[in-house]
Amino acid sequence: MTTSDQEPRRDPLLIVGLGNPGPSYAETRHNAGFWFLDELVSGTDAQLKLQTRLHAETAKVSLHGRECWLARPTTFMNHSGRAVQAVSAYYKISPENILVAYDELDLPTGTTRLKFDGGHGGHNGIRDTIRCLGTAAFHRLRIGIGHPGVKDAVTPWVLSRPSREQELGIRQSIGRALDCLPEFLDGNVNEAVKQLHTDG
């Protein structure tokens, strides 16, 4: 194969799922990002390993031919950026090659959306990630968990377990996001966005 016949080199990607560590938080809405990462890992032979200095559990995998680092922060949600920054700096992954999955109050339960750049929308994990990276120019997978309807009820809402029906909707939406991941990994971000938004 000549050089001209080779596929263009694609930089490694970092995929991070946000959540709170510990069994008391494991089944809460705020851990939807962890749920996504766990589903992703379960489809591979990888095992997340603790890297204390990076404030995360990490694994290296090849997904659809692309080298990826997976990370599950061991910090609490409000300090997620510490892990994202540490892992990305250590493996020399630029912000535009980072995908952060997290729970989104402003999307109905059962809905997922991809976006690039933008504000934090009041999400403390994204707020801290933007602060630590020094930029908002990274990809986000927003996993809808719905809104309780009252601002004062937001904290207990995100830190509580969804109903069985709501959890099913969240997990089904995560499945649809995983179905769109190959397009994203191939660099066809707009196609992945289109497919995900069409599927719900």
Domain 11-199: homologous superfamily in CATH: Peptidyl-tRNA hydrolase (3.40.50.1470)
b/e string for 91-127 if b means 16 or more Cβ within 10 A? Answer: eebebebbbbbbbbbebebbbbbbeeeeeeeebbbbb
Long-range pairs of 162-168 with CB within 8 A, sequence gap ≥ 24: 162/29, 162/109, 166/109, 167/27
* 3-class DSSP string for 97-149: HEEEEEEECCCCCCCEEEEECCCCCCCHHHHHHHHHHCCCCCEEEEEECCCCC
Condensed to tens digits (0 to 9), the pLDDT of residues 3-55 reads 334 444 578 999 999 999 999 999 999 999 999 999 999 989 899 999 999 99
| Alpha helix stretches (DSSP H) within the chain | 32-42, 80-90, 124-133, 154-158, 164-185, 189-199
Enzyme catalytic residues: 30
Question: What is the separation of C-alpha 61 from the centre of its chain, rounded to a whole number of angstroms?
Answer: 16
Spell out the domain ranges in the chain. 11-199
Condensed to tens digits (0 to 9), the pLDDT of residues 54-81 reads 999 999 999 988 999 999 999 999 999 9
Residue whose C-alpha is closest to residue 15's, from 59, 77, 52, 80: 59
Task: Please tell me the predicted confidence (pLDDT) of residue 197.
Answer: 82
Q: What is the mean pLDDT of the chain?
A: 92
Task: Please tell me the predicted confidence (pLDDT) of residue 9.
Answer: 55
